[in-house]
Structure 1
């Protein structure tokens, strides 16, 4: 039963192993050159396919996360601010807080690296197999208000609800009316003890009531957000000001 390489490639494609099909000639050359055993050859094929599938899965989840930019924690300079030590950052990267549905609140003035840190943690969480979604507060309110009659909003809200980690950027940058606050509460209530949330804000939780305008709703939201939470106060000079480009 002699099959040509092309015929074997066609079989791999029929089995939906397209990546392995393309790589098969190279794998056969390596097997012949190194005198692989049958078991070693099978291991090479399955490892190649699994690695390709994991890479594609990560790429898909990165796309779904909708990060505004791609910056990893390797680019985050802990020494430029005093709120977080290298040891504390390493502990965050262990993601035990995410496995236990704890929340993170990153507080501080604009430009100190809150969003940078949140995105870096989000990217690494995806690489660990978690589903992540990034949204600004303004975008989130718009999604919540239009989900009843817009299919696109419905899809995005479902992705948020299905995520292991939801990053909400610029929380409380603007006031909410009662309907918006109610919609936000419903989402937080749904995510409570199902998902972890990272919030970035330049306003502390004790200032949120005046922006929501309803003490009862604010209390209910805070009760769920602060039940299991780590609050990090980020200080220092603005990253953007430090790294700004000069025209002259």
Structure 2
């Protein structure tokens, strides 16, 4: 039995082992170089295929998540945030709350790291095989308002509903009319006990009713969001202000 390398590559592609097919010449060279046994060679092929498939799945999940940027939890400067400990960060990154479909609400003034933590949690979830969607509240409301007539909005909403974790950034940064609040309620209701939600806001739940304008809808939304939730209060000086760059030199300019 004398198959050529291109023929073997075609066999692997037929079996949908595309990554192995592309890498086969290099794998064969390594097998010869290191005198692998048949079992070692077979293990190397399967390990390589599984690793590359998982890497590509992570790439797909990252693309679908629509993060505005990537910031990991390791990059979060815990020393500058006195209201959250390293131990708490480690507990959160274990994602037990996500597996139990708990929600997280990150509250605090602008610039204290709410979005950074939310994105960091999202990245951890993606690495562990979960599907994530990230939207600002403004983009989400626009999506809900256009779903009736835009195919793109319908597809994006479908992705949100299929996610294990939905991150909504800047919740309640602006007031909603009754129609918008009603659409937001239906989304929260659809996600209830099916997905976890991370919300970031500079206003506490007790203030949300003022911005939704409908006490009944606000109560219904809070009932679902707060049923299983961890509320984290962040405080301190804005990182963006504290670590800002300047166009001026360190020494003051003398006039």
Note whether the superposition's TM-score is higher than 0.5. Answer: yes
Correspondence for 1:115:
115
Measured in 1, the distance between the counterparts of 2:7 and 2:144 equals 52
Superimposed CA distance per residue, residues 9-68 of structure 1 (whole angstroms, 9 cap, x where no aligned partner): 222223222221121111111111222111111110011011000000000000000000
Deviation at 1:116, TM superposition (A): 0.5
Query: Is the counterpart of residue 100 in structure 1 residue 100 in structure 2?
Result: yes
Deviations 1:211-246 (A, max 9, x none): 001111100100100010000000111111122222
The count of corresponding residues between Structure 1 and Structure 2 is 248
State the TM-score, normalizing by the size of structure 1: 0.98
Q: Distance in 2 between matches of 1:120 and 1:69?
A: 10
Question: What is the RMSD of the two structures over their aligned residues, measured on CA atoms?
Answer: 0.9
Q: Distance in 2 between matches of 1:182 and 1:84?
A: 34
- TM-score normalised over the length of structure 2: 0.95
Q: Secondary structure at the match of 2:193?
A: coil
Secondary structure in 1 matching 2:135: strand
Q: Is 2:210 aligned against 1:210?
A: yes
1:138 alignment partner in structure 2: 138
Q: For residues 227 and 82 of structure 1, what CA distance do their matches in structure 2 show?
A: 27
| Unaligned residue ranges in structure 2 (runs of 5+) | 249-255
* Partner in structure 2 of residue 165 of structure 1: 165
Distance 1:155 1:138 in 2: 18
1:89 maps to 2:83 = no
| Structure-1 separation of matches of 2:10 and 2:158 | 37
d(CA) in 2 for partners of 1:105 and 1:123? 17
Distance 1:26 1:72 in 2: 33
* Unaligned 5+ runs, structure 1: none
| Structure 1 counterpart SS, 2:166 | strand
Is 1:57 equivalent to 2:57 in the alignment? yes
- Written as runs of structure 1 = structure 2, the 5 A alignment for 1:187-226 is 187-226=187-226
Q: Deviation above 6 Å: which 4+ runs of structure 1? A: none
**1:236 counterpart = 2:218:** no
